[in-house]
Amino acid sequence: MTGLIRLAFLMLYRDRAKYLALVGGLAFCTFLIAQQAGVFCGVMLLTTSTLRNVGANIWVADSRTEQINSPVSMRDIEVNRVRSLPGVAWAVPIFLGVLPAKLPDGSVQNLQIVGVDSGSFVGAPKVMIEGNIQSLILPEAVIMDQVAVEKFASRGVQLRVGSRFEINDQEATVVGFCRTRRSFSGFPHAFTTYERALEWVPPQRKLLSFILVQAKAGESEQAVVAQINGLSGLRAFTTDGFRLETMRWFFRNTGIPVAFSVVVIIGAMFGLWVTGQAFFLFVHDNLRHLASMAAMGATQGRLAVMVMFQAFFAGAVGYGIGLGLTAGFGFLVLPAETPAFYLPWQLPVAVGALVAVICFFAGGLGVWKLRTVEPAMVFK
């Protein structure tokens, strides 16, 4: 058997051009699928970046709220109603909304406003670059994220602590900087207190976006979510549940998943076609060698194992290179977070399985070609 493997390697490496075409095709196919799927995962993750920026265990929203990026506003008093429910340790309001900021030069930049509870600062930024969260209680105070610094700088406004700009004709003063995950809209985050955020938004009857809830110690989050759903008429989610619900919404209502799956299918088809063709030709060119092995007593079965081994070996090498390229791309875009890119461990596994399927079909094509091998072919 080892002899057969050695022969398989010899045969594989003998024709460099075909070997490289085989490996290159598989590497490219792996890269195309993994990279596109990675960007897709990144975009899906981006849709729930608010969940991660705010960081709460249970989210309560109006019953008609479908996903985190477009909350249906509630009445302020719902906070007190949720506080009155069993299993709730505490509940605080949060405001999420997009408001235009007027820069000193008169240009306008939309901001993703996050208004957090002024007593507990639940939902306030997790990573401060400069200043501290407590400064939010200062008048007109706002904490900006790294995206804001970039966006303002691109308009020639250098944001620093003490910088001022206008939101809806009201002054805002920067008291600190934080690091956040980019919002789905791409707008910079501006954190302030709930009360101040309400002063900035044009007056409306209902302005409360979400209620952030902590379950009492010893109570399961699922049970509390069920209690809130059953008793209040509001809609409660666990963080994971809300993430899934939001992604599901994007699947149902946007073309994003279709667009990416088309690319993945094209990648797989491309891989199948290139590899299958290259391998078929490879077997075809080596028919004489295979025939001589048959003449020396190798059975069809053993020859098939050899061909399959060749296909899977080329597949493994191509997959490795492709994955490396994908990871390299990931390293390139990780610091800036644009485009969004995320590789959960399931993704390389799935791509590997797909490559294995491709290799199986390509090898199968070669094996099918083997049928025609007979010892006499040596003399042709």
Partner 1 sequence: MIRLFTLITAVLGLVIYLAFSFRMERSMEDSVTVPSPPPSSPFEATVGASGLVEALGENVNVASIISGVVEKVFVVVGDNVKKGDPLFQVVSSQESTALASSKKELAVREAAVEVASKELAQRQDIYDRTEKLRLKNVSSDEERAQAVLVLEQAMAQLAKAQADLGLGQSRVIEAEAALDRTLVRAPRDGEILRINIREGEYAQPFVGDSALLLGDTKRLQVRVDVDEYNAQRVRSSAAAVAYPKGDHTKSIPLRFLRFEPLVVPKKSLTGASVERVDTRVLQVIYTFERPDWPIFVGQQLEVFIDAADPVSSLSPAGK
Give min distance, CB of 319 to partner 1, in A: 8
Give min distance, CB of 89 to partner 1, in A: 5
- Under the binding rule (CB under 8 A), the answer on residue 327 touching partner 1 is yes
- Under the binding rule (CB under 8 A), the answer on residue 232 touching partner 1 is yes
Which residue's CB is nearer to partner 1, number 345 or number 379? 345
CA atoms within 13 A on the CB side of 13: 7
Nearby residues of 61 by Cβ (< 8 Å), 6 or more positions away: 71, 72, 74, 209, 210, 211, 234, 235, 236, 237
User: How many residues belong to the site for partner 1 (CB under 8 A)?
Assistant: 71
- Under the binding rule (CB under 8 A), the answer on residue 321 touching partner 1 is yes
The torsion angle over the Cα atoms of residues 181, 342, 20 and 265, rounded to 10 degrees, is: -120
- The answer to whether residues 246 and 69 touch, using CB atoms and an 8 Å cutoff, is yes
Choose the binding region for partner 1 from 143-151, 256-264, 266-274, 329-337 (rule: CB under 8 A).
Answer: 329-337
- The answer to whether residues 236 and 228 touch, using CB atoms and an 8 Å cutoff, is yes
- Under the binding rule (CB under 8 A), the answer on residue 226 touching partner 1 is no
Could you say which residues in the range 199-218 bind partner 1, by CB under 8 A?
199, 203-205, 214
Choose the binding region for partner 1 from 86-94, 161-169, 218-226, 300-308 (rule: CB under 8 A).
Answer: 86-94
Residue 218 backbone class (left: φ over 0; alpha: ψ -120 to 50; beta: rest)? left
Could you say which residues in the range 354-373 bind partner 1, by CB under 8 A?
none
Residue 109 per-residue DSSP state: E
- Under the binding rule (CB under 8 A), the answer on residue 379 touching partner 1 is no
Which residue's CB is nearer to partner 1, number 77 or number 296? 77
Give min distance, CB of 331 to partner 1, in A: 6
- The answer to whether residues 129 and 141 touch, using CB atoms and an 8 Å cutoff, is no
- Under the binding rule (CB under 8 A), the answer on residue 43 touching partner 1 is no
Q: Pattern of binders to partner 1 over 241-280, x per CB under 8 A?
A: ----------------------------------------
- Under the binding rule (CB under 8 A), the answer on residue 350 touching partner 1 is no
Asked, as a colleague might, if the bond just before 339 is cis with ω within 30 of 0, I would say yes
Choose the binding region for partner 1 from 95-103, 249-257, 271-279, 317-325 (rule: CB under 8 A).
Answer: 317-325
Per CB under 8 A, the list member of 318, 355, 359, 367 interacting with partner 1 is 318
Rounded distance between C-alpha atoms, residue 128 and residue 126, angstroms:
6
- Under the binding rule (CB under 8 A), the answer on residue 195 touching partner 1 is yes
Structure tokens at 372: 């025609």
- Under the binding rule (CB under 8 A), the answer on residue 6 touching partner 1 is no
- Under the binding rule (CB under 8 A), the answer on residue 145 touching partner 1 is no
Which residue's CB is nearer to partner 1, number 109 or number 286? 286
Q: Residue for token digits 């101040």? A: 196
Could you say which residues in the range 17-36 bind partner 1, by CB under 8 A?
19-20, 23
- Under the binding rule (CB under 8 A), the answer on residue 97 touching partner 1 is no
Beta strand 108-116 pairing with 189-193: parallel
Give min distance, CB of 134 to partner 1, in A: 8
- Under the binding rule (CB under 8 A), the answer on residue 326 touching partner 1 is yes
Could you list the beta-strand ranges (E) of the chain.
58-61, 88-102, 108-116, 127-130, 141-145, 164-167, 170-179, 189-193, 210-215, 235-238
Which residue's CB is nearer to partner 1, number 44 or number 124? 124
- The answer to whether residues 114 and 189 touch, using CB atoms and an 8 Å cutoff, is yes
Nearby residues of 35 by Cβ (< 8 Å), 6 or more positions away: 325, 326, 329
Could you say which residues in the range 99-118 bind partner 1, by CB under 8 A?
117-118
Give min distance, CB of 185 to partner 1, in A: 20
- Under the binding rule (CB under 8 A), the answer on residue 312 touching partner 1 is no
Could you say which residues in the range 66-85 bind partner 1, by CB under 8 A?
75-77, 79-85
- Under the binding rule (CB under 8 A), the answer on residue 16 touching partner 1 is yes
| SS3 state of residue 54 | helix
Rounded distance between C-alpha atoms, residue 252 and residue 66, angstroms:
11
CA atoms within 13 A on the CB side of 130: 14
